[in-house]
Amino acid sequence: MKPLDNPFVPLLWAVRFLCRHVLYLGIVVPLILVAAFYLGPRIVALCGVWFDPLTLVQPIEVSDDFRRQGYTNQTLQHLLVDTLSDVRKEAESVTPANDTENVLAEFKLPDFTVPGTGLSVRPLIEFARTLLKRDSSVYGSVVGSPSSFAVMLTLRDPDGRTVALGNDVPPDTGAKPNVTNESLAMRHALRQAATTILLHQSPLLHASYLMQMEQKRCLQGNAPCQFDDVRERFAQIAAGSGRDASGASREEAAWAMLALSKLDTYARDYEGSIRHARNIVDRSEELHSWKRVRPWAYYNWGVALTDMGCYQQAADVLRRAVELHKDYAPAHNALGRAWLALAQRPTLAGAAPQGPGDYRAAAVRELRLAIEKNPGYQEAYVNLGDALRLPSMKTGLVPAATLDEARDAYRTAVALDIDDAGRAYERLTTLGDSAFVKVAARITRGRAQCATGMARSLLESWGCSDAQIEPGATRDARDMQPAAMHAAANHQTCNKPELTLPAKGMTGNMNKANGMIEVKNIDETPKPRDADSSRRAIAQQQRG
């Protein structure tokens, strides 16, 4: 029988065709695409600066009048680079969102060949950056004279769009030209230009920068803080669903919501702060881009509860923040602060009466972790000293060695920042430390930010003493007792469902008998890895 007479031949041919073509297109090609989707971002991350966003500032043309004053194209170019970098750093201090944008006057790509091919890598990287749309550029000129000039700049964004940036400086009305004033005017004009560039590049960073500048202004004590404009900007970013709506990405919307929570804390609207933080937590269950912000949302939530005097509920929330971001020193410090408050006044902190040793040990443990994560953390040293001064659960006494360790913690806090160590000075004076009794006047010296009436958590982080925070403080307050509301009002407020964690997911961390978070009954807590960590922190601060 001939092969063609075999009825199975067409079937075998069809199977071969499917294997060679259809299965190849249906399996191999999708696998390649999936691998590129998941591996591409990781390759970009490994290559680091090669693929990071970049703003390239070109030389700024200057007029002959400026040249006669010693200005060059490169002088203004580098001044703008430094100014734009400074503006971005100011903005980064408000929200912990990563800003990977590099501002450079020149960008040199690596130039090496692939082994065995002789092909240069630079064209490949340039092509990849073009596809990824990573680069922005700034160019322009300064026209006029040093006493009256205009900075005319143009921003070209990664999509190729250009934005004209104009900035006029009025003529100097003084009788004589002043080189210093002219230099300050130029720096001011460049800062305005940098702020405008930031607005076009990132509405979130621009709003963060404005918030930082307003905070610096009002903390000088000249006028109350006015955050209305900044709040509106953050609200617009948080409400946007994409760049077409508000110029913000989805993740930037989450960071903007976090900034709104922080603004509520500044205004002592703690329930508002919790509402925004909880919104982030709830939305992060559905939106993957919001998950990265969740640890800081729990942190803001817990700090607000601490400011309200709801220490047990604050500890519940702050444990979540620590679990999600184990290396975040402020979260460990805030959790230690909540345990410390429970150890000091358990009946007024939303907790059932327990031996203070449980909470004391937990506080010491968390505060030592905070110092381990950040050896220069002044506030954590003060809180650690407060926790160590509490009586032992086993003996009801404070051992002499432990008291010496507390004194060392306060002294380290003073050494880290001598001008912002009001609480540390206060504690050392209470201990009768002979080296610091004579400087007790520093405790109550005028510091404008300590008289702003802001949240206690903020004032303590700025090093304000209890005498500054509470001018009419009682003896108990001066003896490091935290502010707490009346027991009945505290219990009613702190157990509002909208302020506390939902019941689900808490069973693993709670004691079923009384609903309290379990704290290990350990009076001995591990000490820092190195006994000389305090000395290293002081030396590091002095070198900085």
- Provide the pLDDT for residue 433: 77
526 DSSP assignment: P
In percent, the amount of the chain with pLDDT more than 70 equals 63
Q: What mean pLDDT comes out for the span 335-343?
A: 94
Q: Please give the residue that has the higher pLDDT: either 232 or 47.
A: 232
- The C-alpha atoms of residue 72 and residue 70 are separated, in whole angstroms, by 7
The yes-or-no verdict on residue 348 having pLDDT over 60 is: no
453 compared with 496, residue with greater pLDDT: 496
Q: Which pLDDT score, from 0 to 100, does residue 502 have? A: 82
Band the pLDDT of 25: cuts 50, 70, 90: low
Span 353-393, pLDDT tens digits = 444 448 999 999 999 999 999 999 999 999 999 999 998 76
> Hey, what long-range contacts does 490-493 have (CB within 8 A, 24 or more apart)?
490/309, 490/310, 490/348, 490/349, 490/350, 491/350, 493/308, 493/310
The single-letter DSSP state of residue 156 is: E
pLDDT category at 250 given cuts 50, 70, 90 is confident
- Average pLDDT value for the chain: 76
pLDDT of 166 strictly over 70: no
In this prediction, residues 478-501 reach a mean pLDDT of: 63
pLDDT cut 90: percent of the chain above it:
28
Q: For residue 262, what pLDDT band results from cuts at 50, 70 and 90?
A: very high
pLDDT at 67 over 80: yes
CATH superfamily, domain 311-471, is: Tetratricopeptide repeat domain (1.25.40.10)
Give the per-residue pLDDT at 45. Answer: 55
- Angle, CA 169 vertex, CA 166 and CA 171 arms, to 5°: 145
**Maximum Cα–Cα distance for the chain, whole Å?**
116
pLDDT band at 334 (very low <50, low <70, confident <90, very high): very high
Residue range 187-236, pLDDT digits in tens: 888 888 889 888 888 889 999 999 999 998 888 877 788 999 999 999 99
Q: What's the token pair of residue 444?
A: 């109550």
Mean pLDDT of 250-257: 88
Distance CA 384, CA 332 (A): 11
Measured CA to CA in angstroms, residue 63 lies from 66, 148, 427 at distances of 5, 12, 60
Q: For 327, phi and psi rounded to 5 degrees?
A: -95, 5
Provide mean pLDDT across the span 400-413: 92
Is residue 473 predicted with pLDDT exceeding 80?
no
pTM: 0.76
pLDDT of 141 over the 70 cut:
yes
Q: Give residue 483's pLDDT.
A: 40
The whole-number average pLDDT for the span 460-477 is 66
Q: Is the dihedral of CA 430, 432, 433, 439 positive or negative?
A: positive
Task: Mean pLDDT check: name the lowest of 207-211, 321-325, 496-500.
Answer: 496-500
CB atoms within 10 A of CB 446: 8
Terminal CA-CA length for the chain: 93
Cα–Cα distance measured from residue 492 to residue 419, given in angstroms and rounded to the nearest whole number: 40
User: Domain map of the chain by residue range?
Assistant: 11-50, 53-107+123-171+178-201, 311-471
3-state secondary structure of 167: strand
Distances (CA, A) of 488 to 310, 355, 494, 500: 12, 21, 10, 17
